[in-house]
Homo-oligomer: A and B are copies of this chain.
């Protein structure tokens, strides 16, 4: 399959919370996309001017910019590595839903292979002093042999893919490109890039 322009991929994930808004990781992801003949689109591209805006208005401006980025892309590769809790970053989850609703491709990877159910149990075993939501004790635990909540895993699978799961060097869970490369490889095989 030939394309007049490169397939544009939205780079979703908690990468934006890394130092310098994840510039190092986004630059590396974009370079890797180019090697596969794709174009990576970072949420930080052409970041909106936030000067003079109150914090809440800043957040909204970023929300609108992210939607515009997603609307310009054919699909998403999501970093689904758990972030400050048992699940992947919730903002990234929102973005997967946003792309899935439009029938765009939804790929994802995680660098934590401990099953979702076990992470949930581990969280529930922690003392209430250290847990954010002590009131969630007694709630049930999803047991579907999935990497995360079924809504995100389902979106990936519905596209005919699977969530790429890999263990990486300790400390590099959020920054490693292992899973991202695995997703690009899948995508290239499908698109003939």
Contact = CB atoms under 8 A, between A and B. Distances in A.
B85 A143 contact: no
Interface residues of A, number: 74
Interface stretch (A33-41, A57-65, A184-192): A57-65
A122 interface: yes
Interface in A72-120: 81-91, 93-102, 112, 119-120
Contact of A91 (B102, B119, B151): B151
A88 to B, nearest CB: 6
Nearest to A144: B59
Contacts of A126: 130
Interface of A: 14, 17-19, 21, 54-56, 58-60, 62-64, 66, 81-91, 93-102, 112, 119-120, 122-124, 126-127, 130-133, 135-136, 138-146, 148-155, 157-158, 170-174
